[in-house]
Amino acid sequence: MPVYEYMCNKCRRRVSILMRDPKVAANCPICGGQDLSRRFSSFAVRGTYRDVYESILGDNQLTSAMLRNDPRALAEWNKRMTRGMESGTEPSEYDEHLERMERGEWPAIPGVTAPPTPPPDKVEEMNEKAERKKRSK
């Protein structure tokens, strides 16, 4: 029985639905709406966490952007970290937050504020420290 991903056009949430019978119309499990748009689904590729970490730490552009608190970098880091993990374990708002970060916005999470952006001289210092550490390995 396949799991399909949809965008509910009523509550504007991305949902995953287990389709037991493809002939039966799907309803949004959150609001019960029937106006659903099918979304492209990802799939998992198994790998080791070490490979993932080395890939991330070896990407200077990504690590520099993360040090600058760029939400797009955090979204990319998140995507790389979740590759190979079982899908369907993330919260229902996960995809919405990830899409916002990919657009360069911090997700609107009640009670949580975006991290402060470090001053440019601090970012440069952090980048140099990371580069020295990488060369020393």
- Residue 51: left (phi > 0), alpha (psi -120 to 50), or beta? alpha
For each of the chain's 137 residues, which pLDDT tens digit applies?
467 788 888 988 888 887 777 678 888 888 999 898 887 665 555 567 677 778 777 888 888 888 888 888 888 888 777 765 555 555 557 777 778 888 888 777 666 666 666 677 777 787 788 788 778 86
Neighbours of 36 (CB within 10 A): 19
Question: What pLDDT is attached to residue 1?
Answer: 47
Per-residue pLDDT at 17: 81
Give the pTM: 0.42
Phi, psi of 6 (to 5 degrees): -135, 160
Confirm if 69 and 114 have CB atoms less than 8 A apart: yes
